[in-house]
């Protein structure tokens, strides 16, 4: 993803790559999709990501976002999950999802921003089975209040030379607002604002440590115009050089260009 963006923009220097996508197999054998990478054409270093949460039941959790939301909320509340579930979840087979999580069978951990969007969408009422990729996230984008400025809190942990975004407080904030009868449009925008904020925050941390001021944005999540526009704008205001896709798709349709360039570069070694 990131190299395809670099090639399109004719960038050969190292960049901070923000790769936000659904799910992709990572170097640690987990599912990536919320990554901060330092990249050139031949190599990368993973320097940040979202906290891991398990995908319970594989593909079914992607097709039915409430399952992914249950996993996220289980991570936040543990044994107190049931009393913190939104009312819409009460008619779902939450018990089975909890059994899958606790048995540690047929699960894989993910750091995906796409799955976090699915979770927020389910909490705000998207309880259907998705019929196309990104449907739940599109629902979330479409109900946004364009004028809302508030956001949720989050924590950044630093473990083994990697910045990790802890999403627990984000989800607590969502549920708190839901319980206070805050409108879905405001909650959705607050969620978007939070993703924007932690994205810019991590770029500042990484830039300060590695002395890199170029940022490439890629991955299917950047089809979301609020996320793309606001991260781009805020990074530019912070003095970063920011690169996005204009001709090559930011989703999986564009990764083949990056793969070709990486393979060519490594053949030279």
74-122 pLDDT, tens per residue?
A: 999 998 999 999 988 988 999 999 999 999 888 999 999 999 999 999 9
Do β-strands 155-159 and 162-166 pair in parallel, antiparallel, or remain unpaired? antiparallel
Identify the CATH number of the domain in which residue 220 sits. Answer: 3.30.420.40
**Per-residue confidence at 253, pLDDT binned at 50, 70, 90?**
confident
Helix (H) or strand (E) holding 7: helix 2-8
Q: How far apart are CA 44 and CA 46, in angstroms?
A: 7
What residues make up the domain containing 85?
Answer: 2-267
Q: What is the pLDDT of residues 203-215, one digit of tens each?
A: 999 999 999 999 9
pLDDT of residue 261: 83
Q: How far apart are CA 17 and CA 91, in angstroms?
A: 40
Total of domains in the chain: 1
């Amino acid at each position: 993803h990131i190299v395809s963006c670099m090639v399109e923009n004719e960038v050969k220097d190292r960049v901070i790559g923000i790769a936000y996508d659904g799910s992709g197999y990572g170097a640690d054998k987990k599912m990536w999709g919320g990554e901060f990478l330092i990249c050139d054409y031949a190599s990368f270093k993973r320097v940040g990501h979202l906290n891991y949460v398990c995908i319970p039941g594989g593909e079914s959790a992607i097709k039915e976002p409430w399952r992914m939301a249950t996993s996220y909320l289980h991570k936040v509340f543990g044994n107190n999950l049931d009393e913190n579930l939104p009312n819409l979840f009460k008619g779902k087979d939450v018990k089975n999802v909890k059994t899958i999580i606790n048995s540690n069978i047929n699960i894989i951990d993910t750091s995906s921003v796409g799955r976090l969007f699915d979770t927020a969408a389910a909490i705000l009422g998207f309880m259907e089975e998705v019929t196309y990729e990104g449907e739940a996230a599109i629902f979330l984008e479409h109900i946004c209040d364009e004028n809302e400025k508030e956001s949720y809190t989050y924590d950044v942990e630093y473990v083994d030379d990697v910045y990790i975004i802890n999403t627990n407080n984000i989800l607590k904030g969502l549920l708190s607002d839901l319980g206070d009868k805050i409108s879905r449009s405001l909650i959705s925008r607050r969620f978007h604002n939070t993703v924007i904020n932690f994205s810019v925050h991590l770029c500042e941390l990484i830039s300060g440590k590695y002395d890199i001021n170029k940022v490439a944005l890629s991955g299917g999540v950047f089809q979301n115009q609020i996320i793309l526009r606001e991260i781009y704008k805020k990074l530019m205001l912070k003095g970063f050089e920011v690169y996005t896709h204009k001709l090559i798709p930011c989703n999986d349709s564009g990764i083949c260009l990056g793969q070709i360039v990486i393979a060519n570069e490594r053949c030279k070694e």
